[in-house]
Amino acid sequence: MTKKPIIWTIFNKKLSIQLPFLFFTCFAFLLCLNLAHWQWQRGQQASQKYQAFQTQKALPATGFTTSPRPYQHMSLSGHVIDYLFLDNRIHQGQVGWHVLAVIEIAHNYLLVNLGWQPKNSSLTTLAPLPEQLTLSGIVKTPTVGIVLTEPQQDPLWPKVMQQIDIDDLNQHYNYPLLPFVLYAEKSITPYIAAPLYVANKFPKHLGYAIQWLLIALAAVATFFYISRVEFKENDKKKLATD
């Protein structure tokens, strides 16, 4: 025996409401609203990062500090003690590395992205790095993505890395690296400059938020349309049997 539908009247229109369909529509509506709000929040965060990057980039470079602001424009001079490669960096369609120098500055150790170079089997830089480097650039705290295997299982690690994980590097070296990376803003011969760039992702997240909001509204509209059609069909059947 099927349960009788509930009859609602909304805007002088009668609807035949099936409770499972109502619950499903409410769930879908709330889920889409939450996803729209989440994308809106991500858009706001992306906009703040972009504005901070643009503001700091326009300011003159400051001296070295161990506690910089996000995307601070900084100049420094330090002693080069080692170098690493960041793998799978693309330049004009060619796969290569970003060369990361480990620089000592007043007993502090910092990774500096010097730029791009092609890969080679010897794991060497295009030219020997100078003992002393003076440069300026933008600082950024690296974000660690999801990895399927531990980097320590790679025989080339840490000389060749898939991503910059300061915590993993600190477990390997006997000196602690500062938790940010300086990206050189100008070309350092013979490397091709790879300055930091932060894209404005607010429009993308706003588009996703609007998309989820429209899906939520479409779910409600579909619910009302189907419920209205069902009421009309049931009403016709009732009149035919009378």
What number of other Cβ atoms are within 10 A of residue 85's Cβ?
21
Are the C-beta atoms of residues 162 and 147 closer than 8 Å to each other?
yes
CA gap 79, 8 in Å, rounded: 77
Residue 15's pLDDT is: 80
Q: In the chain, pLDDT over 70 holds for what percent of residues?
A: 97
Secondary structure (3-state) at 138: strand
- Helix (H) or strand (E) run with residue 203 in it: helix 202-241
pLDDT, tens digit (0-9, with 9 covering 90-100), for 188-202: 889 999 999 999 999
Residue-range domain boundaries for the chain: 6-43+202-241, 72-184
Q: 115 exposed, middle or buried (CB, 10 Å; 0-12, 13-18, 19+)?
A: buried
Please say if the pLDDT value at position 96 is more than 80.
yes
- Residue of higher predicted confidence among 238 and 36: 36
**Model pLDDT, residue 2:** 52
Looking at residue 1, its pLDDT comes to: 42
Average pLDDT for the chain: 91
Tens digit of each residue's pLDDT (9 = 90 or more) over 125-181: 999 999 999 999 999 999 988 877 777 777 888 999 999 999 999 988 888 999 999
**Distance from C-alpha of 47 to C-alpha of 138, rounded to nearest angstrom:** 18
Q: What is the pLDDT of residue 88?
A: 93
Structure confidence at residue 7 as a pLDDT band (50, 70, 90): confident
Phi first, then psi: what are they for 142, rounded to 5°? -70, 145
pLDDT band of 28, cuts 50, 70, 90? very high
**Nearest CA to 201 among 39, 37, 34?**
39
How far does Cα 108 stand from its chain's mean position? Answer: 29
**Residue 211: what pLDDT?**
98
Structure confidence by residue, pLDDT tens digits, 211-237: 999 999 999 999 999 988 888 887 777
Segment 107-124, tens digit of pLDDT: 999 999 999 999 998 999
